[in-house]
Every structure is written in structure tokens, then in C-alpha cells.
Amino acid sequence: MNKKLKNKIMAVLLCCVWLLSPVTPVPVYKNMTALAAGPLWDGTVATSFAGGTGTEADPYLISDGAQLAYFSQCVNSGTTYAGQYIRLTQDILLNEMNADGSFVSKKPKKFQSIGTSNKRFQGYFDGYGNEVTGLYVNESWPDYWGLFGYAGDGSVIRNVSISGSVKGRNYTGGVAGYTNGVIAGCAVNAAVTGGESYAGGIAGYAAVNSEITDCTVSGTVQGRYYVGGVAGRTDVSITDCTVDGTVTALENYAGGIAGYAAGADNEITNCTVSGTVQGRYYVGGVVGRIEGGDITGCSVGGTVKAQENYAGGVAGYAADQSVVSDSSASGSVSGRYYVGGVAGRTDETVTGCSSDCTVTGIENYIGGVAGYADTDSEVSNSYASGTVSGRYFIGGVAGYTDGLITVCVNSGAVTGIEGYIGGVVGYADSSNTVSNCFNEGAVAGRDSIGGIAGAGNWTGDESTIHNNLSTGSVTGSTNVGGIVGSSQAPLDPDDAWNNYYINAPAGTGGGDVPEEDGAVPIGDMSWEEVVDRLNSNNPAGDDVWSEDENGIPVPGIFVPHDAVEIVNANIKEGRHYTAALLGTGTSAAVTSDSVFTAAFSMRYNETYHLETQTIGLANEGTVVPLPANTSIIMLVDGVYYYKNLAAELGTRLALGEFIKMGSATENYAPAEPVPAGTEKEYLFIFDFSKTAPGIASGAYKVELLTAAGTSAGAMPSVTVAGVNAYSLTASGENGSVHINLSRTPVEGYDYKTDGKSYACELQLERGGVTVPFPIGAKINGAAVTSTLPYVFTAAAFGDNNVSIDMSGCAAPFAPGSYDLRMKAYACTAAATPRDGYLLAGGGTTLAVAAPGQYAIRARAAARVFDKSAAAVPVVFNIETLGSGAVKSTLQRKYGASYVNMAGQTDLPVSITGGGATLTVPAGCENGTYRFVLTLYDNNAAPRAQSAESVIIK
């Protein structure tokens, strides 16, 4: 099998990780832009929060380390905060950190974890995208340590990043030592160390009501037993998480995601692991040991090492009623016994998986996919391409099986020091079935060496080996066979049939000697003839085998073919929820951080499993990596599905990885394959607006492909032009700020700004501490009504003048110099710009002067006048406090109300020697009139008023 086919097969089987879309109705965990950090914590405990009442609309606010310590003190004194909300307003600096992750101080200040075994947090904590920097927890007794020690039933912890060091005994985690609630959108870059059991980068122990989703871990996690990059042990769900670091168990149960996953409801989905996972027993790239749950859509790259037994690229040991599916491993896996590229040992199902690992066992049961596959196990639709080596029981797919191995491929070299070495399985026991498998790797050992099976026992009533092909060389000293090296009892036609090989000796033992054992050298047969024979008398059907692009027979799921054709394809910039809105265009131009939509009309030329199709972008056939936080929505059959990427995805995305909107677990999985002749409509929305770098510039095809990797018909295309650049500059003086918001545009539609309005966020600081605008302050005339650390005002590209008036505040700022921080957003509502997109930031210095005092008193020398055809002069005595201009408005009384007279509004008043003459216009009727005199400050803001009535009779 050539390298091109291998890459296509890896693209079929490889599944990676995604993050919830902000347009779905399920919970959204946004990576909010953090505010400035609070002051360095001095170790004290505050006496209250920064504000708030604990409701969802008005949460308790924490703005510094002392208030975080107060929060901890309250929980540890028995306040559960059940049904209440707590939020960070800015980064919290507990201890200063060096760039290498160490503490600046040799004696960092300890933080008391929030919650204990009997004083549990049960509220809603939102970090709001901020970081707790320099967390230092260092305890040897009792248990439950982390930022939160014990997060109980109903708790939610989200959107917080943590750096520092956490050290405890049992139940130690970066976010929580123990959780029975939700942890979402959190990031930990810390050293987490447990002296005994249950240590995890996010949680030491995730109990039966817990959920961990959309979290990232870097750094180190270490403990004795039950150690995981995310959780030391989980009983329920871990999804869309990424670990990049070192996970070490000094004894047993080490996993890149979880050390131990127990219970029928546990599920680890769409997680990515890189780095090193090591321990003594039960070591897995994703899970050390899983019992009764599922691992699906996970990807592992790095080193997995067991000092003793049960090492797997994905799972060390997949026990009863557990399933490992659609997952991949690359790197190296090593141990003593039970070592596998995917699973060290499985008692149940491994399907749709791939391994590109170097798999090394010191002793026995070593396999490219599974080291040991027990009775009733299944290994299917999987692919191994790395080298596999050990002593006894070594197989390209499985070292040992007493179950089913079907539709699997091995292309790596398989080497054993002693015996039972096979291209697919080392030893197949009496309940085995090995069928429709292909080996092209070289197989070498001493005794019982076979192209498909090193040795086996086919005395069981149902055990068979049939419809297999080996093209790799087979080398050994005794009992060497192109298909089977040796058999415990002679094979007959009921045990073995339709097995073919080349590049192997005829055999020197019980393997290929009897003609009836089904081991047939290909000789002069053509590949087409071999395919026909492999598909004949095949219990799986007559179309399992096909020729690849080089004509070599392989199981059909690995063969590229035109099982589908694109009848029509359209594309349009922006977010469109039906194909009808796309029109007939086949190309679009967008910015790198924008959104576009593609629709496909597909016709299937043969029976096909829809969920195995893949979607992605490609440049001349090369997959374009999609950055972390890319969101994709799929519409098919009137139902919406979504997928988010928690990490960069370098492969196409299988449609079976899309999750139904409104559900966190229900994937796109049609019950039956569609029959030949079926036509289907698909719509995909690609959203890069939440990604940091955006997608790389270039011209790409949007490819909806079968699992085989090819389709007929034209694909739509998108040209990506880069990103718009924004800048914000500002200058200020007392009461007035000048802001310039500018843009350097690129060609292409920009979802972030098209049709959006713009707003500026203003935040005042003094001495590095955020100072909320006082209630009563006016920003461009709009009054501040709550003590938030920031305010918003509308903005536009170009010059913006913002007035800041604090003269009417009950508690104005002290005079002095303040730092004014500004951020510009594109949004749909100026009142909530943070729901939009951050464009640029800037700042200036604002001088605040002592508030001015203003007053005006105006009295008429006479108040009763005779009616006259001419204007009636009224002499006023006027006194003012504070500099500024005086203007007059004349009103006439109708009933109980005064109404402004036309042409008599805001007329300038000339004051000489404390007096002025105002006039009632000529021809006015009898009645009561009123002069309203207003004193304006030098910024044209009204400061004081005085009114005087006169009568015309």
C-alpha cells in the first residue's frame, strides 16, 4: 500500500476535537477578553465582595485576591451559594510568577481552597475569561485541594484560567479537587501534585453528576494512583478537552485525559492529548483503564509508557462493556505485557481506530491496535502503520485475540524475539474469527510466524480465519506460513478459506502445508482475480474487497472511489441557514476571521453510510488546517448539527462528529445507510470569527467527500484575504476625551463588522487599580446608574469626542491623574458590545479636577405690566456662581402648564453690572409668562436654573 493511500486511510479514521458553537442553543462558554489584573494579593481577607447581590443579573463581584480569599472563607464557613452567582471582574494576582512557571517569591502566599468535604460550594462561578495567577496550594492533610477544594451538587465553574502550583494528598485538581457539578471553558497551566490518589489537571475526581467540557491543561500532573491530565477519575462525561504536558502516576492508572473511567455512563469524547503519559500499570494516552463507558473521537500524539503492564496509545485497558471508537494514536507506546497502539487490552469493542505508533513490549501480548483482545471482544475497521515488537504474542493488529478481528489493515513491520508473531494477530484462540484483513508489513520472528496469524486454535465451533490477504514478507526459523504459522489442530475447509498471500515461504510446520487450510499463494493470478476470490464465499458480502488506485486489493472502506457525485454546489459569504439564500454562486471572498456558507446537493451511486463522509478545506488536495475555536454548523434533513474545534484540526472532519443542536451527546448518525440513487442536501456554515489567528490566506476548495476520499463533480471555492487591521488612539483633558478609531481594510466580506455598529468601552484606573465610574456621572450625557468597572458609549470610524461629566455625582472622584483604558467593539447592540467582537484597544491619561460649583438667582425689578403693541422690557437682577454663559427661555402659562414660546428658546443673555433686560415680544396677549434662565458651564453643559414669572394685563 503506497503512502498516498495510507494518508487517505488516516484521514478516514482520524478524529479530533471541537468546541461549542456560539450560535447553538446549548450552553456557550466564551473565551471573554480579560480585564486588567488586580493588585498583588497581600495575604489578607476582605470583609465583603466588590459589589453585587448574588443574582444572575447582579452577581457578587470579585476584583482582587483579598475578595477571592473572602469568598473562600465564606464557603468554608458553610455558605454554599446554591442558586447564587459569583464573577471575577479582572485577573486576580495571588503571587507573582516567573516565565518558567516558578514563583518570584521563595515563600509564596498560600491560598485556602474554596470548599471542603462538608462545606461545599454549590453556586455558579464565572471567571469571565480572567486568570487567577500564582495560585499556591501546598497541603499534605486532609484532602480536597485546588482553587476549589470541593465543588458539590449543582455547582458550575466556568471561564477561568489558573496558573501556579497545587499540591495535596488525595483529591487534588487545578480547578477542583472534587467535583459533582459542571466545569467548562477552563484552562490550567500549573503543576498539580497529589501525594496519593486522584490527581487531575482540572479535577482530581469527577463524580456521577459531573461534566467537564471545553477545558485545556498544560504543565505537569503527578500522583501515586489515579492520575489524569483532566481528571484522576471520572464517572461521567469529559468532552472537547486538550492536554499538552506530562502526566505521571508513580503507581497505577495514568491517562492523558483520565487515569480511570468507571461506570456505564462515562464518556470521553473529542479530546486531544500530546506530551508524555507514564506510570506502572494501566497507562493510556486517553485513559489508563475504562470500564463500561466509551472513548470516541479522541487523538493522541506523544509518548505512552508503562513500567509494567497495560499500555495503550488510547486506553491501557478497555474492560467489560466499554467501547473505543474513531480514535487515533501516534508517537510511541511501550511497556512489559499487554501493549497496544490503541488499547493494551480490550474485553469489548475497538472500531474505526488508527495507530501510527512505535509499539514496544518487553515481554508478551503486543499489538499495533490491541495487545490483548479477550473473549467476545471486537477489533474492526481499524488501521495500524507503525512498527510492533516484543517477545511472544505479537501482532500487527492484535497480539492475542479470542474474539473478532475484521476489516483491519496493518502496514507496519511486526517483529518478535520468540514466537506467535503475525501480520494481523500473534495468536488467535478457540473463539476467534479473523476475516477480511490485509497485511503488507514484514513479519519476522523465530517460531510460529504467519502473514495473517502467527498461530491459533480453530477447534471452537465458530472459530474461523477466512477472506484475508497478506503481501508482506514472512521470516522465521520454524512453523512459518504465508497466512498461518502453526495451528493447534489441523485446519480444514470449515475453519479456513479464501486466504491469499505472496512474498512468503510455503511453510515448514502446520500452517500452510495442508492445501485445505485456505492459504493460497497468488502465483500468476491477477489482482482483479484475487478481489473476485476474496469477495466470493464471504459471509460479510460480495463487495468487501476492492482494488486501490494501484490495483492492490484492500478492504473496501479503505479504497477511494466515486461512491458519490456533487450534483450542485453553492457558496456565499456570511451566515445563511437555508440553501435557498445562497443563490447560484460557486465562489466567495472573505477575511481570515469571517464566516461563509457552502451548500451541496449530493447523489449516492451506491449504498453508503452518510456519517462517514468528511468536510474540510483543501488547496490542491492538501488539507488546510482549521484553527482552534473554529465553529461549523451542518444542516441536513431539516436538522441542525454543530461542531467546535478545541484545538487545531489538520484533517477533514467526519460528519459523524457533528452533534445535534440542543444536545450535548447526540451525534449525526443515520440509522441505516442510504441506498444507491439517493440524493441529499447539505449546508455548512464555517465560522472563524472566534479564532485568534483566523484561517490562513489563500484560495481553497470546500470539499465534502466520501470516506474513501474522492467524489465526482465541482466543489465550491473560497478566497481568504487576511484580516482587517484596527487601531485606536486617544487624548484627553478634564471632562473631554478625543478618540480616533481607524481601520486598514483588506478585500473580502468581514462578518465581524458587516452590518454592525461600534462602541467603545471606557475603564478608569489609578495606581493600577480599577476605579468604577461613580453613579451619576454622565458619559456623552448618558448617566451611569451602577458601579461597574467599565462603561460603554457609541463610536464610529474616525474622530469621536466623548464628554465625561462627574459634577453631578454624590461621590465624585478625588482630583488627580487617572489612566483611561479603551476598547473598541463591533456589535449589534451598543448596550452590550462584549457580545460582539473586540477590534482594538488604547488609552490616555485623564486629569480630573475638583468638581465646580454652579448657581444662578434671577429676580425681576417689576413683575406686572400693561398690555402693549410694542415689546415689553423686563429688567432683571442676576447673580451667578461659577463661570459660563446664561441663556433665557420664555414660556407662557396655559392652565397649569408652561409652554415654550416659538423663537424664544435658549436666547443668549447679556449681563452688565449684575443686571440684564429681557423682553416679552410685541403684541402678546394678556396672561402669565415665565422667564427660565439657565447657567451653562464652559463645556456647554447646563448647571443651574432660575425662573421668574411676569403678568401682562
Over residues 388-410, the pLDDT tens digits come to 999 999 999 999 999 999 999 99
pLDDT of residue 4: 32
**Averaged over 521-550, what is the pLDDT?**
89
CATH number of 725-848: 2.60.40
Query: Domain 377-537, what fold?
Result: Pectate Lyase C-like (2.160.20)
pLDDT of residue 24: 28
Q: What percentage of the chain carries pLDDT values higher than 90? A: 56
Q: Is the pLDDT of residue 939 over 50?
A: yes
pLDDT of residue 45: 97
pLDDT of residue 563: 61
17-55 tens-digit pLDDT: 222 233 322 233 333 333 457 799 999 999 999 999 999
pLDDT of residue 330: 86
pLDDT of residue 568: 87
Helix (H) or strand (E) holding 569: strand 564-573
Are both 560-720 and 725-848 of the same fold? Answer: yes
Question: In whole angstroms, what is the distance from residue 144 CA to residue 158 CA?
Answer: 19
Dihedral sign computed on CA atoms, order 137, 140, 141, 144: positive
pLDDT of residue 602: 87
Pick from 106-115, 487-496, 707-716, 823-832 the range whose average pLDDT is largest.
106-115
Q: Is the pLDDT of residue 718 over 90?
A: yes
Residue 469 has φ and ψ, to the nearest 5°, of -140, 130
Question: In whole angstroms, what is the distance from residue 848 CA to residue 571 CA?
Answer: 54
816-862 tens-digit pLDDT: 888 888 898 988 877 788 888 888 888 888 877 766 677 899 999 99
pLDDT bin (cut points 50, 70, 90) of residue 549 is low
Spans of all domains in the chain: 377-537, 560-720, 725-848, 855-952
- Check whether the bond before 142 is cis (ω within 30° of 0): yes
At the top level of CATH, the class of 560-720 is mainly beta
Instruction: Kindly state the DSSP code that residue 100 receives in the 8-state scheme.
Output: T
**Averaged over 545-559, what is the pLDDT?**
81
- C-alpha of 306 from chain center: 30
**Averaged over 612-634, what is the pLDDT?**
90
Per-chain mean pLDDT for the chain: 87
Pick from 79-93, 483-497, 662-676 the range whose average pLDDT is largest.
79-93
pLDDT of residue 34: 36
**Averaged over 797-809, what is the pLDDT?**
81
**Averaged over 894-921, what is the pLDDT?**
92
352-379 tens-digit pLDDT: 888 888 999 999 999 999 999 999 999 9
Instruction: Pick 848 or 153 by higher pLDDT.
Output: 153
324-334 tens-digit pLDDT: 988 888 889 99
Pick from 311-325, 435-449, 515-529, 736-750 the range whose average pLDDT is largest.
435-449
pTM above 0.75, yes or no: no
pLDDT of residue 891: 94
Q: Is the pLDDT of residue 120 over 50?
A: yes
pLDDT of residue 942: 85
pLDDT of residue 517: 65
pLDDT bin (cut points 50, 70, 90) of residue 511 is low
Best CA proximity match to 484, nearest among 504, 454, 507 = 454
pLDDT of residue 609: 84
What dihedral angle (degrees, nearest 10) is formed by the CA atoms of 763, 769, 774, 777? Answer: -30
**Averaged over 897-916, what is the pLDDT?**
92
pLDDT bin (cut points 50, 70, 90) of residue 777 is confident
**Averaged over 139-164, what is the pLDDT?**
95
Q: Is the pLDDT of residue 95 over 90?
A: yes
Contact 16, 647 (CB under 8 A): yes
**Averaged over 417-439, what is the pLDDT?**
95
Q: What percentage of the chain carries pLDDT values higher than 70? A: 92
pLDDT bin (cut points 50, 70, 90) of residue 711 is low
**Averaged over 545-549, what is the pLDDT?**
81
Q: Is the pLDDT of residue 793 over 50?
A: yes
- Class of residue 290 by CB neighbours under 10 A (exposed 0-12, middle 13-18, buried 19+): buried
Residue 316 has φ and ψ, to the nearest 5°, of -65, -45
What amino acid occupies position 371? G
pLDDT bin (cut points 50, 70, 90) of residue 559 is low
3-state secondary structure of 529: helix
257-302 tens-digit pLDDT: 999 999 888 899 989 998 899 999 999 989 999 998 899 988 898 8
Question: In whole angstroms, what is the distance from residue 95 CA to residue 99 CA?
Answer: 13
pLDDT bin (cut points 50, 70, 90) of residue 504 is low
Query: Domain 855-952, what fold?
Result: Immunoglobulin-like (2.60.40)
Helix (H) or strand (E) holding 533: helix 527-535
22-31: b (≥16 Cβ within 10 Å) or e? bbbeeeebbb
Dihedral sign computed on CA atoms, order 263, 269, 271, 277: positive
pLDDT bin (cut points 50, 70, 90) of residue 734 is low
Separation in Å, CA 798 to CA 62, 741, 795: 36, 5, 9
167-192 tens-digit pLDDT: 999 999 999 999 999 999 999 999 99
